[in-house]
Amino acid sequence: MALREMSLTADHVARVHRVVPDAGPTAGVQQQTDADYADWVAKIIASHPAPGQPIQLFAYGSLIWNPEIDHRGERRGVARGWHRAFCLRMHRFRGTPEQPGLMMALDRGGQCQGMLFELPPEDPFRLLDRLFRREFTVKPINSMPRWLVVETQDGPVRALGFVMNRASPYYTGRLPLSEVAHVLARACGHWGSGAEYVLNTVTQLEAHGIRDGSLWRLQGLLAEEIDRLAAP
């Protein structure tokens, strides 16, 4: 499959990048504790649908291009009943309290094609602890770990994924792509900008032969919005 030429480029990302210090956790917001993470890890391992078998991880966004954990083997799969959506408001990481950003999550409905990674079986507690500390930090939890059914060319697989908790106060619901582009063209945090996240995600999805129509439209709208901001 030939790679398509994106409208959003590294030049767009450079235009919106700025150095933002990490202000730390938002005052008044409860954070997950070591005990909380240990409890989440224990729950997921205890509910593993195939005890004794390696854990399969479903990656749909930044886990594809920045997994930060050891894994072996990868293959494409489709999680039905879930879709990518920028529906998580961010006041840290890729946004600030003054200029909140949006993060992509798996929300209900539709389908999502992503990648399956097999985690090494030697120390699942350590791997999941590191993964969970990356994926969620506050209470109530934003990105909920759960077992998903992922369809592959070899049949269905039960895989660990992270889905949007609609009870979270940071859940935005469904937003028009034009509004998402407006936010991402301006938001930046100590992890980088929303534009950088979109560029990396769409680039890697394309490289893995995954085409997401909504994300492709968003990258075009985002490029247009950044160009508009730079216009005299």
H or E stretch at 202:
helix 194-207
Structure tokens that stand for 203 in this block? 């680039």
8-55 pLDDT per residue, tens: 999 999 999 999 999 899 888 999 999 999 999 999 999 999 998 999
Residue 1: what pLDDT?
72
Q: What whole-number distance in Å separates Cα of residue 88 and Cα of residue 95?
A: 11
Q: What class does CATH assign to 26-173?
A: alpha beta
Three-state DSSP class for 155?
Answer: strand
What are the residue numbers of the active site?
Answer: 135
Contact 100, 89 (CB under 8 A): yes
146-192 pLDDT per residue, tens: 999 999 999 999 999 999 999 999 999 999 999 999 999 999 999 99
Residue 46: what pLDDT?
96
Of the candidates 30, 56, 62, the one whose C-alpha atom is nearest the C-alpha of residue 134 is 62
Q: What whole-number distance in Å separates Cα of residue 9 and Cα of residue 229?
A: 15
Q: What whole-number distance in Å separates Cα of residue 39 and Cα of residue 31?
A: 14
